[in-house]
Chain A
Amino acid sequence: AQKITQTQPGMFVQEKEAVTLDCTYDTSDPSYGLFWYKQPSSGEMIFLIYQGSYDQQNATEGRYSLNFQKARKSANLVISASQLGDSAMYFCAMSSRAGYALNFGKGTSLLVTP
Chain B
Amino acid sequence: NAGVTQTPKFRVLKTGQSMTLLCAQDMNHEYMYWYRQDPGMGLRLIHYSVGEGTTAKGEVPDGYNVSRLKKQNFLLGLESAAPSQTSVYFCASSHGQGVSGELFFGEGSRLTVL
Contact = CB atoms under 8 A, between A and B. Distances in A.
Interface in B41-91: 41-45, 48-50, 56, 58, 88, 90
A100 B42 contact: no
Contacts of B107: 43-44
A61 to B, nearest CB: 12
Interface residues on B, range: 20 to 34
A48 to B, nearest CB: 10
Interface in B20-45: 31, 33, 35, 40-45
Given A47-B103, A91-B43, A100 B94 contact: yes
Interface residues of A, number: 26
B94 A50 contact: no
A64 interface: no
Which of A44, A98, A99, A104 has the most chain B CB atoms closer than 10 A to its own CB?
A99
21 contacts: A9-B40, A31-B99, A32-B99, A35-B102, A35-B103, A43-B107, A47-B102, A47-B103, A52-B99, A91-B43, A98-B48, A98-B56, A99-B48, A99-B96, A100-B31, A100-B96, A101-B45, A104-B43, A105-B42, A106-B41, A107-B42
Interface of B: 31, 33, 35, 40-45, 48-50, 56, 58, 88, 90, 92, 94, 96, 98-105, 107-108
Given A31-B99, A35-B102, 5 more contacts: A95-B99, A99-B33, A101-B103, A104-B43, A106-B40
